[in-house]
Amino acid sequence: MSEKDLLEKDEIFSKVLRAGRRTYFFDVRETKAGDYYLTITESKKFTHDDGSFHYKKHKIYLYKEDFEAFREILTEMTDYVVDQKGEEVISERHQKDFKKEVIGIDGESSPSDNFTDLSFDDI
């Protein structure tokens, strides 16, 4: 059996979640005994100063006998985070605050308002 045949047989069902520099792969795979299990892989892109890059991967193997307990704890933990900190992503809130400072939310001029409007016809 070729490597491609093994790969196709091994991956039963897959989904991908792209999240900025991170990508999550959810794959249902088959054991040698013919049962299914889940792998969750986080792949994160790192860029070097010279422009080259590499990916760092972390993988979790989750078997059916652990699904229910895993689901319960995951739900409990995600609910806790949302209850404690809300659904707004902090980095998005910081970006909004930064935009308010640059735009001048209070109507006063900000450093970006100190530029002169020029047209190429003026030159």
The answer to whether the predicted template modeling score (pTM) of the entire model surpasses 0.75 is no
Q: What is 3-103's CATH topology?
A: Nuclear Transport Factor 2; Chain: A, (3.10.450)
pLDDT-above-90 percentage for the chain: 46
| Residue 8 pLDDT | 47
Q: Could you tell me whether strands 36-47 and 11-19 are parallel, antiparallel, or unpaired per DSSP bridges?
A: unpaired
| Per-residue pLDDT reduced to its tens digit, 40-83 | 999 998 888 898 888 899 999 999 999 999 999 999 999 999 99
- Cα–Cα distance, 26 to 42 (Å, whole number): 9
| φ, ψ dihedrals at 56, nearest 5° | -110, 130
Q: Could you tell me whether strands 22-30 and 36-47 are parallel, antiparallel, or unpaired per DSSP bridges?
A: antiparallel
Residue written as token pair 């995600």: 78
What average pLDDT does range 21-43 have in this prediction? Answer: 94
Polymer length of the chain: 123
| Residue 96 pLDDT | 56
